[in-house]
Structure 1
Amino acid sequence: MLRDHVQSYDPTFQHAALGMALISLNGTFLKVNPALCDLLGHPRHELHSIPSLDITYHDMLTVISEFGKSLESNHLTYGKFEQQVLHRAGRQLNMTIHLTIIYDEALFPSHYLVQFEDRTRLIETEGLLHSTEVILLDIQNSYYQLLEKMPLAVLITKKGIIQYVNPAALRLVHANDKSEVLGMSTDSVVDTSYHQALSDRRKNFVTHQSLRSISYMINALDGQQKFVEGFTLIINYEGEPAAVGVFKDITDQQQKEEYIMQSEKLNMAGQLAAGIAHEIRNPLTSINGFMKLMRSSKRSTESYFDIIESELKRIELIVNELLVLSKPQGNHISKPLNVLPILDQVITLMSVQAALKNIEITFLCPDTSLWIIGEMNQLKQVFINLLKNGMDAMGTSGIIHITADFSDLEVLIRVQDEGSGMTPEQIQKLGQPFFTTKETGTGLGFMITQNIIHNHGGSIQIESVPDHGTTFTVKLPRINEPEDL
């Protein structure tokens, strides 16, 4: 009767992908399929060497027999348990053993149908995954510990909403607890005067996948305003893309630079005063002459009024530009600017001093407007510094060429002089405080120029050949023309 039961499992038993065996109630193999031989590492010809398999797997068979008896005593026909089984090569296999009690026609237990599910790789993978999770958790904890102890302010944001701040960031915005900051929009922290710059920066990242360093003013929770400088990295945070911003407070540095800049402005205003006074004297002489002609002339003097008005406007323009240099500046507010009118105004102002030195200033620019985000007076300071440096290097004659150009991302302004030029060693040191190529100078002017350009998100390049002149190229991030202007 048992033989009939055994034969009834073919051919499904023989061709099953899962290791299977028929095992007697006493714990001996009755039949083994090829898949089980493969699983345990035995050649298939050993299918017919059942007694040798009984000896090899005696302990396992004993456990199976005892488990089957426990199922029967509990009136169950099926159960499973975990068991380690030794592979023929000597390694341990982690098995889930499924046991089904087979009954004969008289409903007495006849034998066991046992299936062997190899879970070794799954368990190894789970162990490896767990180890990896532990390592990642350690890394994450170390990462947070590093952020918590960093002296620089760190914010993690998603779509402009703050998700994490470290203690340094809390101190920066004068918050007592993270709950005061988490969930806030960065737009409520960054001063409104810099919102356009932030928006352009985000658009630039979407298009070009790059984020430049940035400087802007923030509003602390107590209303105090500060200048910060920092950079941003894009990471995965809690399964989603997020921006990590690292910032430092440069308010004191900004104030010191402002003081130095103001000193330079006053110094430059003094140097320009003589030339400007001379230039103002010329239209005043003309006005005085035409006034005398008007008194003595009996004919129409309408054309004299036009000339006098033109000369007065020129005086007003020169005086206003001089006042821009000398008056103290408050908090600088960046906004969209067309850089071409700024260059025109600077050239108008500097042409006075250039004429005294027999220097010509030429200006070549495109027909289209060139828009940037910036602060007008600071940019004037940059171009005045560059023009003045060029004139100082040239002596009493020559031409300074100013060229404005653009690419998709940048506005480029080149100031090329015909002066004495510089060596590579001098260019390397340029911008260091108190280094200068002039007989009288502090070297602070170019340092200020560099800082202003850097704060505008730009850069400055220098090309120079001794005795052949120098070219300064200022690059500033270009924006589209604002629609609301």
Structure 2
Amino acid sequence: MKTEYHNVCEQNDEAGRQGIKAMDTPEVLSRIRSAFELFDSQSALLRSSFENLKQDLAKANEQLNVKNKALSGKVEELQQMSSRLHCILESLADGVLVVNTQLHVERCNPAAENLLNLPRSFVEGRPYADITNGLGNVEKLTVAIEQGRTVLDEQRSSVDARGRRTIVLASVAPIRSATGTILGAVEVLRDVTPLRALEERVQHQKRMAALGEMAASVAHEIRNPLGTIEGFARLLKHDLDLAGQPEHSRLSSKIIEGAQNLNYVITNLLTYARPMQLQYETFEVSTLFNSVSDVLADGAAVHGVNLQLNMPEPLFRLNGDIRQLRQVLINLGRNAIDACPKGGHVSLDGTLQKKDVLFTVSDDGSGIAPEDLSSIFDPFFTRKEGGTGLGLSLSHKIVGAHGGEILVNSKLDAGTIVKVVLPQLGEGS
């Protein structure tokens, strides 16, 4: 579009072509002046528009900076939140597996690594069914993803190559977006193996306690007539000795011996059934060894077994019930001797380990079958011919009453090592 300024210029050009001198024409000068004035006004308007645009741009930049700053704050906040969630996930004692809709594991925390016994680098990205080692349930996970259902505290278990059993409580829940779309599922695995073992132990102890009470009740009923039998057998033996009938006297001696053996079993049974009452005193461990050595030496000599007693230092002291602990070492020593063939070896050691006293009874005898190891402390359990199954049960109870424990390591036909661990300073110290 032509402005008036352009029109004036064209007119001036035309006048020049016609030989008219513009400077001599007042009208032309007036038009030129008007054109310059118009140019000045347009320039001023342009400058004003430019300034306005400049100010608008500055405001826009300022607003953009404010929004960028706010956005940076939000990004930093999200990063901090993500980092915190990551730390929480990594610190959880429960195993966590995050699975997408294709049932591939996207995330695995350290607790899940330990439960699955697989490194995270192997787990993440693989199909869920390939990595759960018997602790997974694809069906429950599929239900969570396809139907949006939650599964709580489903008990699962697996046994590894070394025979160790793992028990978990598994909970599965769908992962939803803000719009409700299911993006996958999260599975939480809680290791309850120690808890279940404790529950089984408590139930086992309850059964054993009930059995002990019942047996003690029966033992009370047996002890009185048993005493009568032994008493009359002694009178009979006395009369037979006076009558000069040694053969019949020998038979009455067998009755007395049988009654005494049965009375010994009843005494152990009643001791096992009653609450343990300990008489604490501080004594040299060498004193305990001396009281045990003669009894075990006689038994070893009868069986033709080599016995070695590694006597502790004289300053090595222990606080406990010496009479009860003597019975423990005698029971363990006799078991070791009975397990050995003629010419076998049995050793008894006493050492101090930090704040604990450690007694070790080892032999190279027949050993204990793996399937029997979990039952050896049960009352009446025995594989020994003529055994009562009360010696180890009573020993276990005595050691437990002292705040200690008995550890058994045995291989069939290769021998057994029994360790008795006791706190050096017991209740009465």
Scaled to the shorter chain, the TM-score interval is 0.3 to 0.5
- Bigger fraction of residues in strand: 1
Bigger radius of gyration: 2
* TM-score (normalizing by structure 1): 0.33
- Bigger fraction of residues in helix: 2
